[in-house]
Amino acid sequence: MLEELFPNVIPEDLWEATLETFYMTSIAILGTLIFGILLGLLLFLTDSGNLWQNRFINFITATIVNVFRAIPFIILILLLFPFTDFLIGTIRGWKAALPALIFGAAPFYARLVEIGLKEIDKGVIEAAKTMGAKTHTIIFKVLLPESMPALISGLTVTGIALIGYTAIAGIIGAGGLGDLAYMKGFQRRDFDVVLACTILIIVIVFIFQYIGDTLSKLIDKR
Amino acid sequence: MIRIQNLSKVYKTNKQEIQAVDNVSLNIEQGEIFGVIGYSGAGKSTFVRLINRLEEPTDGSVVIHDKDITNMPKNQLRKKRQKIGMIFQHFNLLWSRTVYENIAFPLEIAGVPKTKQQEKVLELINLVGLSGKENAYPSQLSGGQKQRVGIARSLANDPEVLLCDEATSALDPETTDDILDLLVSINKKLGLTIILITHEMHVIQKICHRVAVMENGKVVETGDVLDVFVKPQSKTTKRFVQQLNPLEHEKDKLAEFINDREDSEVVKLHFIGKSAKRALISEVAKTFDVEINILQGSIAPTQEGAYGTLFIEINGEKEILKKTIEFMEDTGVEVEVLKHA
């Protein structure tokens, strides 16, 4: 039955491409999480009226974030070729897609982190100050835990965008389902391969959304 | 114990300067409950935030236990803040933490070891009457319970003073009374000095020993609660006192009883402290040949004694009326004979 519907699909290839997409996305999400939270915290803390209030650093951070968000992802990959070559040692394969994926997604996530942090009740931060809390205590024991549901749902949204990015990266040889769909499917006019890849990507997105929603709900005690 | 001298706070915006707190000087004694009352915008919230430097003062000084807060370096101030508890109108609890974890938070900040934390937290939970709620999250609690958590949290590091910023303003009247009772019992049990900011005279009347009235950033009146109640000096204070005495609003209704006849007088009696408990009316009725008609009355308990108001109509012969009033004045009750305006 499956062979009739998808005559040109080689299961081993499909499985390998799925794994590549999975690795690419997972590591990119991890990188995005780390850099996104760092940037988001920096944006939030240096904003006026906050703990590290600093116009200059806030402006610089905001500019970097905005510039990288403004560059279309396909162009970002091309622009980062030299950097990727230097860092990874190659510009081919799923590992070579990571810098562009993280550079593309982290600034987007940083803004979502900033929004999440801004939604924390200012009074709670004030209360921590009255108890004599240091800034790092406020960050790790107030800011991050109190914005956790927003951080998680933001990461879900970003993660799903990242899955889309990995497919785009596939077109220039990053491997994964996007690569398979374009090279083996579109180029050879085997549209059943394109369809199979699409279905798998949709499944991955759904799984992602489900995990994100469940986690966010579980952690939200408001 | 707390000396506040010439404390000022000026906010500068592009076009104008706003003097939120204007040259406030106060002395607050060890173990007293000191109230600061004012309408919104009077600067009372800014004032209380200057005490622990949540807001930096523009001028003046705050000295707590001989330590000047205002010129303390940041790291020293952080240590000192552990000894200045604070509770808030909107409780400001961490929703991500349970009751237990919320109360443990200031102990974590102070670096208290886990085993000692547990002992202290459970003791505090008992003190504020939340036993059994240790593992509840703030969202599962009522407003009053949340404020109890806030109070327990503020007491965790055995503070020298507790600042209350409109701590009961978000609560219904009954819960307000419960929380006020709790504050009084903590004040008595721990000898804790409490500085309380409010816009409700009821709160001042119920638990404060002394009060300062604020208006436009300035303290316009200060003194023992009972004195301020009985003899309010400033216009603002008078308005606050009236808030509490429903009879003041109904003076008009007494008009029909007031007449120009010589054998009838309408008298307003002020009972203060011990005199409030005296059976004055029946004494008068037994001693003099007069008829007494009680029109209206109310009594308000304060920390320093009760404070009551009674409107009566006395009928009798002119001479006897005069003697009756003199007799009442001699007992220490304040007597005011009402005439048509």
Is residue B341 predicted with pLDDT exceeding 60? no
The answer to whether A222 contacts B81, with C-beta atoms less than 8 Å apart, is: no
Look at A196-205, B261-270, B320-329 and tell me which has the smallest mean pLDDT: B261-270
Q: Chain A, 9-48: which have a CB under 8 Å from a chain B CB?
A: none
Min distance B93 CA to chain A CA atoms (Å) = 6
Interface test with A, best of B109, B165, B166 (most A CBs within 10 A): B109
A130 touching B (Cβ < 8 Å) = yes
Contact between B77 and B71 (Cβ < 8 Å): no
Contact between B59 and B6 (Cβ < 8 Å): yes
How do residues B262-313 score in pLDDT, each as one tens digit? 788 888 888 877 766 678 888 888 888 888 888 888 777 788 777 788 888 8
Q: Chain A, 44-103: which have a CB under 8 Å from a chain B CB?
A: none
> In terms of CA atoms, which chain A residue is nearest residue B55?
A126
Nearest to B94 among A132, A134, A142 (CB): A142
> In terms of CA atoms, which chain B residue is nearest residue A145?
B96
Amino acid type, B218: K
* A134 contact residues in B (CB cutoff 8 A): 78, 109
Domain-located, residue A147? yes
- The DSSP result for B42-70, as a single string, is SSHHHHHHHHTTSS--SEEEEEETTEEST
Half-sphere exposure of B260 (CA within 13 A, CB side): 2
The answer to whether A148 contacts B96, with C-beta atoms less than 8 Å apart, is: yes
State the pLDDT at residue B250: 65
Half-sphere exposure of B323 (CA within 13 A, CB side): 11
Percent of chain B with pLDDT over 90: 61
How do residues A133-170 score in pLDDT, each as one tens digit? 999 999 999 999 999 999 999 999 999 999 999 988 88
Exposed, middle or buried: residue A106 (CB in 10 Å: 0-12, 13-18, 19+)?
Answer: buried
State the pLDDT at residue B5: 94
Q: Supply φ then ψ for residue A8, to 5 degrees.
A: -95, 0
Amino acid type, A144: L
What's the whole-number mean pLDDT along residues B142-159? 96
The answer to whether B92 contacts A145, with C-beta atoms less than 8 Å apart, is: no
Is residue B167 predicted with pLDDT exceeding 90? yes
Q: Chain A, 154-173: which have a CB under 8 Å from a chain B CB?
A: none
The token pair at A23 is: 């690795």
The answer to whether A123 contacts B105, with C-beta atoms less than 8 Å apart, is: no
Contact between A193 and A9 (Cβ < 8 Å): yes
A133 touching B (Cβ < 8 Å) = yes
State the pLDDT at residue B60: 94
* A133 contact residues in B (CB cutoff 8 A): 78, 109
> In terms of CA atoms, which chain B residue is nearest residue A219?
B96
B7 in the Ramachandran plot: left (φ > 0), alpha (ψ -120 to 50) or beta? Answer: beta
- The DSSP result for A134-192, as a single string, is -HHHIIIIIIHHHTHHHHHHHHHHHHHHHHHHHHHHHHTT--HHHHIIIIIIITTT-HH
State the pLDDT at residue A185: 84
Domain-located, residue A67? yes
Q: Kindly list the residues of chain B whose beta carbon comes within 8 Å of any beta carbon in chain A.
A: 52, 54, 77-82, 84-86, 88, 90, 92-97, 105-106, 108-110, 137-139, 153, 157, 163
Domain-located, residue A5? no
* A222 contact residues in B (CB cutoff 8 A): 95, 139
The answer to whether A124 contacts B92, with C-beta atoms less than 8 Å apart, is: yes
State the pLDDT at residue B247: 63
How do residues A96-115 score in pLDDT, each as one tens digit? 889 999 999 999 999 999 99
Domain ranges of chain B: 2-244, 248-338
State the pLDDT at residue B302: 80
Residue B146 CA to residue B182 CA, distance in Å, equals: 13
Task: Residues B2-244: name the CATH superfamily.
Answer: P-loop containing nucleotide triphosphate hydrolases (3.40.50.300)
Nearest to A132 among B81, B95, B138 (CB): B81
* A216 contact residues in B (CB cutoff 8 A): none
Domain-located, residue A185? yes
How far is CA A80 from its chain centroid?
17
A120 touching B (Cβ < 8 Å) = no
**Which 3 state secondary structure label does DSSP give B250?**
coil
Look at A7-16, A57-66, A76-85 and tell me which has the smallest mean pLDDT: A7-16
Among the CATH numbers 3.90.550.10, 2.40.50.100, 2.70.98.10, 3.30.70.260, which is that of B248-338? 3.30.70.260
Question: Which 8-state DSSP code applies to residue B156?
Answer: T
How far is CA A94 from its chain centroid?
15
The token pair at A159 is: 């993660």
Q: B313 or B244: which carries more pLDDT confidence?
A: B313
State the pLDDT at residue B249: 60
A124 touching B (Cβ < 8 Å) = yes
Supply the CATH number for residue A211's domain: 1.10.3720.10
Interface test with B, best of A117, A124, A130, A219 (most B CBs within 10 A): A130
Residue linked to tokens 């949290």: B153
Closest to B218 (Cα-Cα) out of B7, B2, B11: B7
Percent of chain A with pLDDT over 70: 100
State the pLDDT at residue B339: 75
Nearest to A130 among B52, B93, B97 (CB): B52
Look at A62-66, B115-119, B231-235, B305-309 and tell me which has the smallest mean pLDDT: B305-309
* A221 contact residues in B (CB cutoff 8 A): 95-96, 137-139
How do residues B175-201 score in pLDDT, each as one tens digit? 999 999 999 999 999 999 999 999 998
Per the structure, the count of domains in chain A is 1
B280-306 in b/e form (b: 16+ CB < 10 A) is beeebeeebebebeebeeeebebbbeb
Mean pLDDT of chain B: 89
A132 touching B (Cβ < 8 Å) = yes
- The DSSP result for A194-214, as a single string, is HHHHHHHHHHHHHHHHHHHHH
* A147 contact residues in B (CB cutoff 8 A): none
What is the domain range of residue A207?
Answer: 23-219
What's the whole-number mean pLDDT along residues A18-39? 94
* B163 contact residues in A (CB cutoff 8 A): 130
The token pair at B276 is: 């409030």
Question: Which 8-state DSSP code applies to residue B316?
Answer: S
Same fold, B2-244 and B248-338: no
**Rounded alpha-carbon distances, angstroms, from residue A164 to A14, A168, A169, A193, B310:** 17, 7, 9, 17, 80
A145 touching B (Cβ < 8 Å) = yes
Amino acid type, B51: I
